[in-house]
Structure 1
Amino acid sequence: MPRKGKIVIYSIWVVIIVVLAILYFLSPETFSPKSITEFVKTFNSEMLWIYILLSLIRGFFLIPSTPFVLAGALLFPGRLLLILVISMIGIMLSATCIYYFSDFLGFSKRLDHRFSSKVNAWRSRFSSSKSVLFIAGWSLLPVVPTDFICYAGGILKAPFKYIFTGVFIGELILCSIYIYFGSNVLQLL
């Protein structure tokens, strides 16, 4: 893609993320599971399709999946397995896109140039099959963004199968906890 095209796409993406971040800081309740649930409920007959669409596109804007997973459990309490499948498809789509587009702007060349010894050390760590455990552990922690590990893996050219497997294992456990235990807690509130 020509340099100007990259700049335009990157600028639009950054503007959208900045606007969403400002909205989040000005009105964090808008992004709460209850608010997302209420928004989706306004489309009563299309509710499941809207939820699927939102779950699939939220990763492109680096919006955390947690509120969507919890909102799905609130919206569809009788279809928790379906919510788990939809959530995992959305998360894995996001992880895959971030991995493959992470070097879209050429950051790996800059990192290689500035921090070549550290980059090579991390590249070798990510190239081991043991990295799946590290990535799964990272994905399991709700306070650290999974998108970051996918981004780093993409820049470092880590084997996709290790990134994908680690994210899948960690997020499957975390989403299962959110859906099956979180939905009960949220129902009480």
Structure 2
Amino acid sequence: MSSKLQHIIKYTWIGLVALCLLIYFIYPAQFTKEKIASFVGQFHKYAWMAYFLIHVVRGFILLPSTPLIFAGVLLFPDNLVWVLVISLLGILTSSLLIYFFSNTLGFSKVFEKNNTKFNLIENRLLSKNGYLYIILWSFLPIVPTDLICYLSGAIKIKIPVFIASILLGELVLCSIYIFGSAFIIN
């Protein structure tokens, strides 16, 4: 890929992320689980596909998946296992796309600089127990999973290790969100 095209993609992505985050912070009421459920519900027989695609796109613009997962519980209360499956498939698809695009977006250059923090992160992720950091990072709701996907792609974590780690962390977190919220609602 040419350097010029890479710069265009990178700055378009940065602009899109900035715009989406700005909208997210200016109009937070538009991103509630109820509003998201209402939006997805408008697609009627294609609601599951819309739910999946929103999960995939969401990762590129760094919006949290939590409201979307809760929206799935509201929208599909009788299909919680499917909410979990579709959420995980969407998160994994998004994570893999982020992983593969991380170099195009310039994340590998972060690790080329001699920065102690980034070197520490890189060393931990590439260590024998690096997968544990990815699992923990994807499990903790206070840390954006998308960021570990960008970092993992930039330093070329082995894809099977990356997928398994993201899946384990997100499986636990999404299960707690989905079945826990359904229990509380009912």
Settle same-fold status: TM greater than 0.5.
yes
Which deviates more, 37-46 or 170-179? Answer: 37-46
Aligned residues of 1:131 and 1:162 also touching (Cα < 8 A): no
Which deviates more, 103-112 or 157-166? Answer: 103-112
Aligned residues of 1:108 and 1:156 also touching (Cα < 8 A): yes
How is 1:1-189 mapped onto 2 (pairs within 5 angstroms)? Answer: 1-109=1-109, 111-115=111-115, 121-185=120-184, 187=185
Q: How many residue pairs get matched?
A: 186
Following the alignment from structure 1 to structure 2, what is the Cα–Cα distance between the partners of residues 108 and 153?
10
Identity of aligned residues (%): 39
Cα deviation 1:75-95 (Å, max 9, x = unaligned) = 111111111111111111111
Cα deviation 1:109-145 (Å, max 9, x = unaligned) = 4532433x76555444323342222211111110110
Q: Runs of 4+ in structure 1 displaced over 3 angstroms?
A: 117-124
SS in 1 for 2:20: helix
> What letter corresponds to residue 71 of structure 1 in structure 2?
A
Q: CA deviation at 1:8?
A: 1.9
SS in 2 for 1:114: coil
SS in 2 for 1:149: helix
Structure 1 unpaired stretches of 5+: none
Q: CA deviation at 1:37?
A: 0.6
Following the alignment from structure 2 to structure 1, what is the Cα–Cα distance between the partners of residues 45 and 157?
43
Following the alignment from structure 1 to structure 2, what is the Cα–Cα distance between the partners of residues 61 and 138?
18
Aligned residues of 1:129 and 1:162 also touching (Cα < 8 A): no
SS in 2 for 1:94: helix
Following the alignment from structure 1 to structure 2, what is the Cα–Cα distance between the partners of residues 26 and 122?
32
